[in-house]
Structure 1
Amino acid sequence: MLMALPESTSCPRYFDAEHSDTLRVYCAQQLADEGTSDSLQRAIALVDRIPSDSPTRDQGDRLIQTWSAKLLELAEERFQAGHLDEAVALARKVPPRTDAYIQARDRMDAWQAVWQEAEAVYSRADDAIALGNWDVALSRGRALLTLENRYWAMERYPDLARRAQEGREQDQWLADAAKRRRANMAPSTEGRRTQWEQERDQRDLQVLQQAQALAQSSNVDDLREAIVNARRIIWGTPHYDQAQSLITTWQDQVQAIEDAPRLEQARQLASSGDVEDLESAIREARRIPSYRSLHPEAQSHIQVWQQQIREMAAESMTPVPVMDDRMAPWSPPEDPRSPLNPAWNPDQDERFPDAYGEQSGVSE
Structure 2
Amino acid sequence: MDHSTNQSAPTSKLDFLQKIYLSAGQISWQMWAIGLILVSGTVGFTATSMLLKLPKSPQCVRIFWPIASASMRIYCAQMEAEQGTVDSYLRAINLVEALPEDHPLRKEINRNVEEWAVAILDMAEEEFQKGKLEAAIKTARRIPDYVQVYQVVEERIEKWRSVWREGEDIFAQVEKELRESNWNLAFREAVKLLSLSNKYWASTKYDETVKQIQLAQEDSSQLDSAYQILRRGGLDNWLKAIADAEKIPQTSYAHQEAQKLIASAKEKIVDYVDELIDDRRWDTLSDVVNRLPDSLPLQEEISDWKIFASAGMDAQTGTTDSLQVAITAVQEIKADRPLHQKAQDLIGRWKLEIEDVAHLQEARNLATGGSIDDLNAAIASAELIPSNNPRYQEARQEIGQWTNTIQLTEDQPILDQARDLARGGDVSELRQAINQAQLIGPNRALSGEAQEDIQRWRASIQRQEDQPILDQANSLGNVGEYDAAIQAAQRINRGRVLYTEAQTKIDQWRKETRAQRDLQEAYLIAQGKTPQALVSAISVVRKIPSSTDVSSQGQQALNRWSYQLLSMAQDMANRSLLLQAIDLAKMIPGDSAAYSSAQAQLEIWKKLLQPPSPPSIHPSPSSEVNPLMETNYAEPRSN
Q: What range describes the TM-score normalised by the shorter chain of this pair?
A: 0.3 to 0.5
Higher relative contact order (CA 8 A, sep 6+): 1
Larger Rg: 2
TM-score (structure 2 length as normaliser):
0.26
